Amino acid sequence: MRALTVDRSAPGQLRLAEAPDPVPAPHQALVRVTAISPNPAEFRYILPAAPDGAVIGWDAAGVVERAAADGSGPAAGTPVTTLGLSEGWAELRAVDTALIGTVPEGADLGVMSTLPVSAGTALRALRRLGPLLGRRVLITGASGAVGRFAVQLAARGGAHITAVARKPELADELRALGAHEVVTGPEAVTAPVDGVLDQVGGPGLAAAFNALGEGGTLVLTGAASGAATEFPPGALLADPARQDRSIVTFFEMTGGGIDRDLTWLAAETAEGRLRPHIATRGDWTDARATLDAVRESRLAGKAVLDLS
């Protein structure tokens, strides 16, 4: 099969080359991949440690070529979107059936490839905040892929949403997705919020935590800034006016129900009730510019690469 393999001598350290076909374990289906959607974190955390010849990649959509031997998961011929820690950027992927979402027939698999990490993170992180109806939620990095999904899903849950976008020109787009107000930084928030989804980290994390009211929770889903966070003295001590605030960590690929979540997200997207923002789409045989843009976090949305 062909795959985007790690090659330290190639531009961008990736090369389209031949790689061995994967051999599925009994609980894995073999998927014929038709589209992939790279994420900046794969370049930040996975690529630097991967050996030459490795195939990385989290998000991929396609059609089940061979069902899992243990009888779990979708049947052969089923369109799916898949999640995994590696081996997504290839023509064939062996993937745990617990990480496969069924896609409605006729849906655009390129669009479906954008869902696992970004929409899945938004959905599952928002659940960590508890019921959203009538609550105030702050979403940092709201113009990015996870942030746009989070704004839409939080709006569906009945939250009052404050979106953080460093570019003021994106405010109208975020309001159209469901944000009630848009600010350029968490330090601009004046009323206490009940929950925060923070994908940026760095100094903004301290400011976002400071925006929490009593009993509020901040779910940390990423560190896109790449900067350290420094809390002022006493920031994490008990505050009589804002007791029981917490910061919780998050990892998308653990816990049960991921297959159900991906199936639901795929159906909502196919019906137009959830709108991915695809910033660029192209063929994986000419992907260097797209991969560089993802690597450098220059896209306000997702990238899709179609396998030809």
Give the model confidence (pLDDT) of 242-261 as tens digits: 888 999 998 888 888 999 99
Residue 178: what are its φ and ψ, rounded to 5°?
130, -5
Q: Which two tokens stand for residue 124?
A: 């599952």
Q: Where are the domains of the chain?
A: 2-114+276-306, 119-249
**pLDDT tens, residue by residue, 84-100:** 999 999 999 999 999 99
Would you state the pLDDT for residue 234? Answer: 82
Query: Does the domain formed by 2-114+276-306 have CATH 1.10.40.50?
Result: no
pLDDT band at residue 207, thresholds of 50, 70 and 90?
Answer: very high
**pTM surpassing 0.75?**
yes
**pLDDT tens, residue by residue, 249-307:** 988 888 889 999 999 999 999 999 999 999 999 999 999 999 999 999 898 889 999 99
Would you state the pLDDT for residue 255? Answer: 82
**Taking the CA of residue 56 as centre, how many other CA atoms within 13 Å lie in the half-sphere pointing to its CB?**
20
* SS3 of residue 217 by DSSP: strand
**Taking the CA of residue 167 as centre, how many other CA atoms within 13 Å lie in the half-sphere pointing to its CB?**
11
- Give the residue from 220, 208, 217 showing the smallest Cα distance to 243: 217
For the segment 67-95, the average pLDDT, to the nearest whole number, is 97
Superfamily of domain 119-249 in the CATH hierarchy:
NAD(P)-binding Rossmann-like Domain (3.40.50.720)
Mean pLDDT of the chain: 95
Would you state the pLDDT for residue 239? Answer: 76
Contacts of 29 (CB under 8 A, 6+ apart): 64, 66, 67, 68, 73, 74, 80, 94, 95, 97, 100
Would you state the pLDDT for residue 252? Answer: 83
For the segment 222-228, the average pLDDT, to the nearest whole number, is 89
For the segment 74-93, the average pLDDT, to the nearest whole number, is 97
Q: Which helix (H) or strand (E) holds 43?
A: none
Burial of 81 (0-12, 13-18, 19+ CB in 10 A): buried
Would you state the pLDDT for residue 156? Answer: 96
